[in-house]
Each structure stands twice: as structure tokens, then as C-alpha cells.
């Protein structure tokens, strides 16, 4: 497991293994000293030490997998950034045209999108028509975020709908930047076209 975690392998030779293991990037604190004890321990003690070694590596492996999952989830949200901008523009447009029907329509899409994005960043999953209700899902989010998502679902006021969309976009931007995510921007028409094409909403 430790070998897989470091994306390296070592030969089945104890002397050589220790030398190679010491060069690993990821290594449990007690791993080498425990391994040395394991080699000279009596059977019962050896079993306990081996169990500890396996638990150490399992913990490291689990942490690594969670870290990979987090990275994948961040990329999923970043890949929808063209849609975030589209939602923001549609929300502003509805308010400027005083079109409540369009505002409510886009607000519902907005609410679903932000609920999905924020849950995903917490390594949760949320899908339309899933087992968990919207209310239960919102309880997993920060209070401010949950409040603005509920505004999008319940408000009949265009200014409130636009304001909540802008605040959620700002919160999501800050959340992604705090995780050192690079948000896509377009500096030319061709960039913009490519940017829009990768939208996955």
C-alpha cells in the first residue's frame, strides 16, 4: 500500500527496502522503526506491529484518496464557470427588463447550481430529485450560503434575486480561490468561444 501511495515499488529484500523506503515522499512517522521491530519480534508481537503498520498506511492512503477527490471536485466546479457567468448575466438582464417570470426561472436554475457546487466542494453530493430534500441539503452548507439559496427559491423580488445571485457568485469565487483554483477567463473573442464551449451546465 505504501509503495502504491508513493507511485514507486521496492524489491523484496529487507536491507534494500529500508533504503528505498527512506526516500519515499509519503511515510508514516513510526513506519521505519516499527518495521525494524517487526523483523525481530516474536509471533504475537509481530502480529500487533504488522497490524499497526497496515493501519498507518491505510490512514495515509485514505487521506491521499480524499485529497484527490477534493481536487477532482474543485475541477468540476471550475469547469462550469462559463455557466456561472451566464447565470449572473441572465439574472441582471431579468432585473433590468423587469421580467419577473424570467427572473424566477433563472433563480431556480441558480439555486440548483449553487447547491450542487457548494455541496461538491464539501465532498458531498446533491442531485435533483435525490433522496435528500433541499432543506436537508442546505443544512450542510454555511448559514449565509443557505440563506441566499433559499432567497433564490422563495423570493418574488427581482432585486433580491439578482443580489443573492451576485453574493453567491462572490462566495463561490472566494471559496475556489482559497483552494488555489484558477478560474477561466477570456481575453479575446476566440478565447471566449472556447470558454463557452467547455460549459458543462
DSSP for 45-94, written as a single string: HHHHHHHHHHHHHHHHHHHHHHHHHHHHHHHHHHTTHHHHHHHHHHHHHH
CB 41 within 8 A of CB 60: no
pLDDT digits (tens, 9 = 90+) for 84-131: 888 899 999 999 999 999 999 999 989 989 988 888 888 766 555 454
In a domain? residue 8 = yes
Of the chain, the percentage scoring pLDDT greater than 70 comes to 80
- Which has the minimum average pLDDT: 11-15, 59-63, 91-95, 159-163? 11-15
Give kind and range of the element (H or E) at residue 151. Answer: helix 143-154
Residue 74 lies inside a defined structural domain of this protein: no
Looking at residue 20, what is its pLDDT? 75
The verdict on 144 and 125 lying in the same domain is: yes
Distances (CA, A) of 116 to 137, 139, 172, 196: 9, 13, 11, 20
Its domain, for residue 141, covers 79-197
Q: Which residue has the cell 457546487?
A: 117
Predicted local distance difference test score (pLDDT) of residue 14: 63
The predicted pLDDT at position 159 comes to: 94
Residue 181 sits at φ, ψ, to 5 deg, of -85, 140
Q: Same domain, yes or no, for 57 and 138?
A: no
User: Does 133 have pLDDT greater than 70?
Assistant: no
Residues 120, 190, single domain; the answer is: yes
Residues 90 and 187 in one domain: yes
Q: What is the pLDDT of residue 107?
A: 93
| pLDDT at residue 121 in the model | 85
Q: Say yes or no: 119 and 149 in one domain.
A: yes
Closest to 124 (Cα-Cα) out of 165, 80, 70? 70
pTM flag (> 0.75): no
pLDDT for 201 equals: 43
At 80, is the pLDDT very low, low, confident or very high (cuts 50, 70, 90)? confident
Would you say how long the chain is, in residues? 201
pLDDT at 10: 64
Amino acid at each position: 500500500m505504501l509503495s502504491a501511495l508513493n507511485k514507486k515499488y521496492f524489491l523484496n529484500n529487507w536491507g534494500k527496502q529500508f533504503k528505498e523506503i527512506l526516500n519515499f515522499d509519503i511515510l508514516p512517522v513510526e513506519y521505519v522503526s516499527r518495521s525494524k521491530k517487526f523483523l525481530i519480534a516474536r509471533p504475537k508481537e509481530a502480529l500487533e506491529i504488522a497490524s499497526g503498520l497496515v493501519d498507518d498506511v491505510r490512514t495515509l492512503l485514505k487521506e491521499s484518496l480524499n485529497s484527490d477527490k477534493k481536487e477532482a471536485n474543485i475541477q468540476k466546479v471550475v469547469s462550469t464557470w462559463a455557466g456561472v457567468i451566464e447565470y449572473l448575466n441572465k439574472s441582471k438582464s431579468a432585473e433590468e427588463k423587469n421580467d419577473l417570470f424570467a427572473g424566477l426561472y433563472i433563480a431556480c436554475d441558480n439555486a440548483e447550481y449553487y447547491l450542487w457546487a457548494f455541496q461538491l466542494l464539501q465532498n458531498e453530493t446533491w442531485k435533483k430529485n435525490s433522496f435528500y430534500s433541499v432543506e436537508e441539503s442546505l443544512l450542510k452548507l454555511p448559514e449565509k450560503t443557505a440563506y441566499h439559496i433559499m432567497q433564490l427559491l422563495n423570493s418574488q423580488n427581482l432585486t433580491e434575486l439578482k443580489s443573492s445571485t451576485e453574493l453567491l457568485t462572490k462566495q463561490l469565487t472566494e471559496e475556489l480561490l482559497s483552494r488555489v483554483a484558477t478560474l477561466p477567463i477570456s481575453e479575446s473573442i476566440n478565447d471566449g468561444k472556447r470558454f463557452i464551449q467547455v460549459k458543462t451546465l
